[in-house]
Structure 1
């Protein structure tokens, strides 16, 4: 098998050095961890992040939420649907531009978010403690530099 177009050494190199692979693996592991603890509040980690992104003084536009979460609008809209069906948010016309849509947390959505926040704080604190404050902040800084 020596005439393989991609040598096994290249596979090992990618496995050991690829930032995308390492970030994806870490993201999946973190998401599983948060999914597990947030289940008691009836949310996944993605739903928690999405609802938290709506918790603003003024209801955000779909575009601003998509940008914040680094999602395309189609994916965001698909993720909004179950939360909207559950009555956690509404999608309403922008009063200043009827073509635009605003995402509004309902009272039920705010209550769900309020129930989930202490769970997130505890889980996030445990992760920060395991990493150490300096390492955790360095990781956040490095990830933010990629945006």
Structure 2
């Protein structure tokens, strides 16, 4: 490859490094996940599991399809994410009585207990994060929701 082509390629790479929304969202997502994984570790859950427990925190059991859609994951990924929560007694996965092919998901009493305890540390960490960001986090959330 010629020096001119190498320079053009480097310039394109630098442009992508500096402007790519996907790259910056991926980096931010990994950094946020690590940050919340650290504070949620004492409760035996990860940040992803905390999100899943919150989605399941509802009066009636949820079907897998809407839960997967809300979390922007396919059903097989949701199933894989449910396994450790079910194994640890935090989530119940039952056959849907109206459609035996489907599953209904709900928090167990232990799941609610863990979620309640983890929420306090999440609130503190989230407030600290918003303070660090310092800008209009509402606009940031709106932009992220528009993409999801």
Aligned length, in residue pairs: 146
- How far 1:95 moved relative to its partner? 2.1
Distance between the aligned counterparts of 2:128 and 2:75, measured in 1? 33
Q: Secondary structure of the equivalent of 1:7?
A: helix
Distance between the aligned counterparts of 1:38 and 1:31, measured in 2? 10
Alignment partner for residue 103 of structure 1, among 84, 105, 112?
105
Distance between the aligned counterparts of 1:6 and 1:90, measured in 2? 55
Per-residue deviation, residues 35-87 of structure 1 (Å, max 9, x unmatched): 11111111110110011110011111111110110011111111111111111
- How far 1:6 moved relative to its partner? 6.7
Query: Aligned-pair RMSD on alpha carbons?
Result: 1.6
Q: Does 1:19 align with 2:29?
A: no
Q: How does 1:49-128 map to 2 (within 5 A)?
A: 49-128=51-130
Distance between the aligned counterparts of 2:9 and 2:95, measured in 1? 55
Per-residue deviation, residues 67-113 of structure 1 (Å, max 9, x unmatched): 11001111111111111111111110112222211111111111111
Q: Match for residue 144 of structure 2?
A: 143
Distance between the aligned counterparts of 2:136 and 2:110, measured in 1? 36
**Unmatched segments (≥5 aa) in structure 2:** none
Q: Secondary structure of the equivalent of 1:104?
A: strand
TM-score w.r.t. the length of structure 2 is 0.92
Distance between the aligned counterparts of 1:111 and 1:6, measured in 2? 56
**Unmatched segments (≥5 aa) in structure 1:** none
- How far 1:5 moved relative to its partner? 10
